[in-house]
Chain A
Amino acid sequence: MNRWALLLGLCVALAGCGRGEDEIVASSVAHRFLTSVSNDNGDVACSLLSRETAAALAHDEREPCEETVRGLELNAPSAERVQVFGLSAKVDLADGLSVFLELTPEGWRVSAAGCEPVAGDQPYECEVEA
């Protein structure tokens, strides 16, 4: 029993055990965000954005976040790959676009969405970002 407790402690200490769960939750948050945008549900969509991204969206468009997200043209295709590194995650979607997320005290939140890869090592071009 003690040996298993030690192994579990080591596993938690090395932060390897929760990664699969993080991938599921990050993917779920990305999907809920995109579905909310597709359904014009601004309240839910904005609640799934990181504070910085929600504020940037409202600031850029000079409208409340809830109004701004209704104008976004984002679909909610299935996730093809989820990668989690530390407090950051990326969900690659079937339409070739990606969603970036960050882990906040409230859980995983979208920091950028509608992101398209750019040639070279440049940052993705995103429809929503901070």
Chain B
Amino acid sequence: MKRFLRDNGLSVAFGVLFLGTLIAQAFVGLADFNAGQIAHHGDPISLWRYVRSSEFGVDVLENWQSEYLQFSLFIFGTVWLLQRGSPESKELDKAGRESDSDQKLRDHADPDSPKWAKVGGLRTWLFSNSLLLVMGAIWVASWLGQSITGHVAYNAERFDHQQAAVSLSQYLGSPDFWNRTLQNWQSEFLAVGSMAVLSIYLRQRGSPESKPVGAPHGATGVEG
């Protein structure tokens, strides 16, 4: 058990943090929702009803989609885009998809390389892009989920104000949908951009997200 935790500390710690904060969000989200109900002379709802509601769904999914978009774009963009001095960037002469030799593909694979890196064809192409494909698919799925739950929550609010419902396609062009989307996107892009730049000049001893403390500011593609 101790060894398992040591070998998987990062995923276990963030898994626990995710579940803890999701549960906390459910409780405070319910309190916020019920405060709104009372303010409008409505009736409070139960926790079980709230976690099945579109209001909770859209609040969760609008953040999920932006996080997966952020990492998908980062994975994709860093194939070609470089940043001199940043540990988030490859070395300056390695822009692009790199050679089979660099990537240990097909005849250049090591004996312990994954099978799909060796076999060639569609399987090697799929495996070569699998991280981006899966992260991108989760982004699309969670953005779709945001649009569906957001549509329901938006129309519920419109009915509360005796307004007609809008269709899903109308909702996808609405300020509500794009405000929820863009407010999350801008914060993700800011965080990634500032991380890429700040890590040129700043260090965190022991972290692979930083260069070694003594590395020069101009050193690129070096992780500590």
In the bound complex, residues from chain A placing their C-beta under 8 Å from that of B164 are 90, 117, 121, 124
Q: A100–B159 contact, CB under 8 A? A: yes
Q: Is A45 an interface residue (CB 8 A)?
A: no
Q: State whether A83 and B155 are in contact (beta carbons under 8 Å apart), knowing that A123-B163, A124-B162 are contacts in the complex.
A: yes
Interface string of B146-171 (1 = CB under 8 A from A): 00000011011111111111000000
Q: Which residues of B contact A104 (CB under 8 A)?
A: 42-43
Within 8 Å by CB of B153, from A14, A86, A89, A90, lies A86
In the complex where A86-B55, A123-B163, A126-B162 touch, is A52 in contact with B41 (Cβ < 8 A)? Answer: yes
CB proximity of B46 to chain A, nearest CB, Å: 9
Indicate if the CB atoms of B45 and A123 lie closer than 8 Å.
no
Closest chain-B Cβ to A48's Cβ sits at a distance in Å of 15
> Are A86 and B152 also in contact (CB < 8 A) when A13-B52, A15-B52, A102-B160 are?
yes
CB-contacts of B50-96 with A (<8 A): 52-55
Please, how many angstroms separate the alpha-carbon atoms of A130 and B31 in the complex? 24
Instruction: Please give, as numbers and ranges, the residues of chain B lying within 8 Å of A88 by CB-CB distance.
Output: 155-157, 159-160
Asked if B162 contacts A52 (CB within 8 A), the reply is no
**How many pairs of residues, A versus B, come closer than 8 Å at their CB atoms?**
67
Contact A83 B165 (CB under 8 A): yes
How many residues of chain B are within 8 Å of chain A by beta carbon? 22
User: Within the assembled complex, what's the spacing in Å between the Cα atoms of A123 and B162?
Assistant: 5
Tell whether, in the assembled complex, residue A52 and residue B42 are in contact, meaning their CB atoms are under 8 Å apart. yes
Q: How far is the CB of B212 from chain A (nearest CB, A)?
A: 47
Judge if A57 is at the interface, Cβ distance under 8 Å. Answer: no
Q: Which of A12, A55, A90, A122 contacts B165 (CB 8 A)?
A: A90
Chain A residues lying within 8 Å of B162, measured Cβ to Cβ, are: 100, 112, 115, 123-124, 126, 129
Residues of B contacting A14 in the complex (Cβ-Cβ under 8 angstroms)? 52
Asked if B41 contacts A121 (CB within 8 A), the reply is no
Give 1 or 0 for each of A82-111: 1 = CB within 8 Å of chain B CB.
010111111000000000101011000001
> Which residues of B does A touch, CB under 8 Å?
40-43, 45, 52-55, 152-153, 155-165
Where the two chains meet, the residues of A that have a C-beta atom closer than 8 Å to any C-beta of B are: 12-15, 51-52, 55, 83, 85-90, 100, 102, 104-105, 111-112, 115, 117, 121-124, 126, 129-130
With A86-B53, A102-B159 known, 5 other A-B pairs at CB within 8 A are A15-B52, A83-B165, A87-B42, A105-B43, A123-B163
